Structure 1
Amino acid sequence: MKAVSKSLRAITQISLMILIMAMVGCSNSGKESTLDNWTAQIEDFLHTEAPFQQVLLFYGTDRKITGESEPDSYFGSQDGKLSLGTSLVSVPYDKKIGLHNENAFWMNSRDEKSSKNYELLDIRPLSSRSIESILAERLSASNEHNVFIFVHGYNTSFIQAAKTTARLAYHMNIPGSAMFFSWPAKGDKLDYLEDEKVSAESDRQLADFLTQIADNNEISRIVLMSHSMGCVPLSRAYTILKSELDNNKLDKFTDLVMVTPDINLTHFNSYLASELSSGPAAVTVFTSDRDRKLMTSHDERFGVRLGDPLTGNRPQGIRFINASKKDTSLTGNPYWVKDGSVLEDVERIIHTTP
């Protein structure tokens, strides 16, 4: 069937090209306009026909393994030991973005239909030594020595974390390797208070995961990004790294981006601000008064959150950007947006040489 499809496609392409060549000699402006339109349509067909895309992600998680073999149910919502591995995610083609450059982490193919949605295709648990070896080999082969690590917020399952990371990698054209750390959020917005407790208890596991990544000699730059309640374990883990890593490894962490962080502002100023602002990583906080997860936080907790767009009482050495008019959901399903997505701003940070 694939051979027949390719033959029909080739015949169609040749026929259209012959028709265009026959029209080249026409001088009528209307025909020239038609020719231009047809040429653009054919180029679009030949070069941007939706291909099949998939990305290899590395992960760390302290979720407990369920014993199920299917990727969708491999990890549950109970806490467990730190485990590492890779996950393969199919990425739907977006004409506005185009193809991600094929490298050691991305595969593009026109022999299969493009996925309509992000889909978790495979999970492969690996040892620390295997992760180090595979990551070093692929980074070396791709000539990209950068790593991007995402930490999700509350009400997020492992599979949702993998899909979101794949989307971030695609939309921000992330060079090198994309990774994520999934802490055992319950995956239900009614479990906000339970997720809040668990997120704070995942800092040690996350710090161990980040340490193993920083130990890889093939990596020269690491960009950290967290969303909502995921900013809690990430900010706490970074303070652990500051006390445990030597400068050569700590300096690899060039940027720490927090999108609408669900952290009590008083607590942050008292215990975390000075540690984060004095480290080598440039810290950027995106605030919003329209972020839904922050709205849920205000329903459950009293007090100002770090992600609230206030003008005063801000710690020094940290850049704050008001993203209230942007989409901060990271899911691609904005509930309100006037001025694009926060991903555009994060992409500029990622693609700026430190």
Structure 2
Amino acid sequence: MRLHTLLASLIVLSAVGSRVSAEDGQGRNRFVSVPVIFVTDRAAKKAGYGPRRKFETIDTINDLHCGWFDYSLKAEKAITDQQTKLGWTESEKRSGNVLSTRPLKEVKNYKDLGPVIVDTAKKSGTKDVFVMIHGFNTRFAEAAKGAALLTQSVQRPVILYSWPSKGKIGQYNVDLGNNEWSQEHFDAMLEELKSIKDTNGINFVLVAHSMGNRLVVRSAPVLQGKHLFSQMFLVDPDFDAETFVHYLVRYGRKTDEPTKEAASTEPVEPTKVRILFSHKDHALPMSEFIFGGYTRLGQAADSLLSTVVAPYTIPEKLSEAFGDAPDTRGAADRIQNQASKWLMNFQWIDYTILDHGIIGHTVPFELIASLWSTNMPGEGLKMVHSDNGPPNKLSRMFGKLFGESDHISSKIDSAEKVVFDKDAETTNKPHN
């Protein structure tokens, strides 16, 4: 039985890699070319970048491939002035194509990346820049599509970080290894983004999907206390749920010394971390099976995670890290307490109603754009406080199969559910 189930798992996982919502519209046959910055440690090939790791020596670990790609998407309307600033142009090519890849040969390492990002932000007339990391089974062209769709939704510059996913059936474990190998490169990029933010005031927003969330969670030692991202969207994260809590215990707590941001007289807004999950997601239960029945973070069904989404139930260690302790001590302690408040501010969002397909596991780009800009789900939608309910049947089956059902709870106490709001008028306000 396990062999048959494993084969089914691999077949399903092979189809989920860069599953994205087809949100390029259903209007007239008008197409636009959307430019996106890419950073990758894939090996270069004649056309684009392949599934292999780049060659490196001890002296070239932080060398990278960086540049632009242009992707063709369907458009409902004529290009606006803001989109022109972003570099959008009319295209005669149908949507779903990488039109060109333009490597920046002058960018040899992460230190050379800063001027490219700063110049792009200035030309676009915005301080907001998104960073996207794709998931398992994703070729470079598929990753490019996801980043282009994100660009179209948020109307802001996007940096795609593309690690060397094989993009083949049965290569899940190879992707795991390549994802782990890519960690140092990703961490080095984050350090450079932090320098760019401090020097130029760029506001970075992160979107990670599926296995790409592994890079994000494992970067906790680099991100700790730095407040690099104003918002983080972790979509269907394929990461062990209980290990995630371990990271929270160690890296979510307040630091021993106040950071530069904490010492500032200006208040620091908490980094809002939104974890998006769907009960239609049949990919993560397959990953759960491969990992012996242990719940994935994106399944939002682990008993330990209820302590994260309901802070008043957090055990003493986590409570100290995330709680709002009375501010009755000296000035240094007040700064310290402020730092603990903005380290992480979680929101769990059930987007099942927007997920689609037999497998689910899609990226809801328009939802992300609306939540980022307005803290609301978008026109015709609303969010309601909801009992999350039990995990889907596949998750329950694999939990029982491996005797790990005790690790799965019946619900999460504090999830927000996206639902249709047919009677409500649009009240979303534009992002400042």
Query: Letter of the aligned partner of 2:173 in structure 1?
Result: L
Give 1:287's match in structure 2, choosing from 261, 268, 277.
277
Query: Letter of the aligned partner of 1:304 in structure 2?
Result: T
Matched ranges for 1:18-57 at <5 A:
50-57=29-36
Give 1:132's match in structure 2, choosing from 109, 114, 138.
114
In 1, Cα distance between equivalents of 2:205 and 2:187: 14
Is 1:186 aligned with 2:166?
yes
Question: Is the CA contact 1:327–1:336 (under 8 Å) kept in the aligned structure 2?
Answer: no
Q: Which residue of 2 aligns with 1:351?
A: 373
Matched ranges for 1:283-322 at <5 A:
283-301=273-291, 302-310=293-301, 312-314=303-305, 315=308, 316=311, 317-322=345-350
In structure 1, the residue corresponding to 2:298 is in which secondary structure?
coil
Which string of whole-angstrom CA distances, capped at 9 and with x for unpartnered residues, describes residues 12-47 of structure 1? Answer: xxxxxxxxxxxxxxxxxxxxxxxxxxxxxxxxxxxx
Q: Which residue of 2 aligns with 1:123?
A: 102
Q: Which residue of 1 aligns with 2:400?
A: none
Distance 1:190 1:156, change over 3 A: same
Query: Letter of the aligned partner of 2:176 in structure 1?
Result: E
In structure 2, the residue corresponding to 1:307 is in which secondary structure?
helix
Is 1:69 aligned with 2:91?
no
Distance 1:304 1:278, change over 3 A: farther
Is 1:86 aligned with 2:86?
no
Query: Letter of the aligned partner of 1:318 in structure 2?
Result: F
Distance 1:130 1:233, change over 3 A: closer
Q: Which residue of 1 aligns with 2:235?
A: 259
Deviation of 1:64 after TM superposition, in Å, equals 2.7
Question: Is the CA contact 1:289–1:309 (under 8 Å) kept in the aligned structure 2?
Answer: no
In structure 2, runs of 5+ residues without a counterpart are 1-26, 56-60, 256-269, 312-344, 375-430
In 2, Cα distance between equivalents of 1:53 and 1:277: 45
TM (normalized to structure 2)?
Answer: 0.59
Q: Which residue of 1 aligns with 2:132?
A: 150
In structure 2, the residue corresponding to 1:75 is in which secondary structure?
strand
Please identify, of 225-234 and 180-189, the stretch whose mean Cα deviation from structure 2 is larger: 180-189
Query: Letter of the aligned partner of 2:246 in structure 1?
Result: S
Question: Is the CA contact 1:225–1:258 (under 8 Å) kept in the aligned structure 2?
Answer: yes
Query: Letter of the aligned partner of 2:239 in structure 1?
Result: I
Is 1:113 aligned with 2:92?
yes
Deviation of 1:308 after TM superposition, in Å, equals 0.8
Which string of whole-angstrom CA distances, capped at 9 and with x for unpartnered residues, describes residues 78-117 of structure 1? Answer: 354441412222222232x7646423433223xx524232
Query: Letter of the aligned partner of 1:251 in structure 2?
Result: H
Q: Which residue of 2 aligns with 1:20?
A: none
Is 1:221 aligned with 2:203?
yes
Which string of whole-angstrom CA distances, capped at 9 and with x for unpartnered residues, describes residues 292-321 of structure 1? Answer: 431331332221111113274222442111
In 2, Cα distance between equivalents of 1:193 and 1:229: 11
Distance 1:255 1:92, change over 3 A: same
Question: Is the CA contact 1:62–1:202 (under 8 Å) kept in the aligned structure 2?
Answer: yes
Query: Letter of the aligned partner of 1:208 in structure 2?
Result: A
Task: Report the aligned-residue RMSD.
Answer: 2.9
Deviation of 1:278 after TM superposition, in Å, equals 6.2
Higher relative contact order (CA 8 A, sep 6+): 2
Question: Is the CA contact 1:228–1:293 (under 8 Å) kept in the aligned structure 2?
Answer: no
Question: Is the CA contact 2:149–2:365 (under 8 Å) kept in the aligned structure 1?
Answer: no
In 1, Cα distance between equivalents of 2:250 and 2:193: 24
Query: Letter of the aligned partner of 1:75 in structure 2?
Result: G
Distance 1:55 1:213, change over 3 A: farther
Query: Letter of the aligned partner of 1:102 in structure 2?
Result: Q
Q: Which residue of 2 aligns with 1:246?
A: none
Which string of whole-angstrom CA distances, capped at 9 and with x for unpartnered residues, describes residues 262-310 of structure 1? Answer: 1111111122466358695211111223224313313322211111132
Distance 1:198 1:342, change over 3 A: same
Give 1:103's match in structure 2, choosing from 84, 103, 109.
84
Question: Is the CA contact 2:235–2:363 (under 8 Å) kept in the aligned structure 1?
Answer: no
Query: Letter of the aligned partner of 2:167 in structure 1?
Result: G
In 2, Cα distance between equivalents of 1:236 and 1:335: 30
Query: How many residue pairs get matched?
Result: 285
Distance 1:49 1:194, change over 3 A: closer
Deviation of 1:220 after TM superposition, in Å, equals 2.3
In structure 2, the residue corresponding to 1:155 is in which secondary structure?
coil
Larger Rg: 1
Distance 1:326 1:309, change over 3 A: farther
Question: Is the CA contact 2:128–2:203 (under 8 Å) kept in the aligned structure 1?
Answer: yes
Deviation of 1:252 after TM superposition, in Å, equals 4.0
Deviation of 1:203 after TM superposition, in Å, equals 2.2
Identity between Structure 1 and Structure 2 (%)? 20
In structure 1, runs of 5+ residues without a counterpart are 1-47, 244-249, 329-333
TM (normalized to structure 1)?
Answer: 0.71
Deviation of 1:234 after TM superposition, in Å, equals 1.2
Distance 1:241 1:324, change over 3 A: same
Give 2:182's match in structure 1, choosing from 202, 205, 214.
202
Q: Which residue of 1 aligns with 2:15?
A: none
Distance 1:291 1:274, change over 3 A: farther
Give 1:271's match in structure 2, choosing from 231, 247, 266.
247
Which string of whole-angstrom CA distances, capped at 9 and with x for unpartnered residues, describes residues 201-224 of structure 1? Answer: 322211111222232233421001
Question: Is the CA contact 2:31–2:95 (under 8 Å) kept in the aligned structure 1?
Answer: no
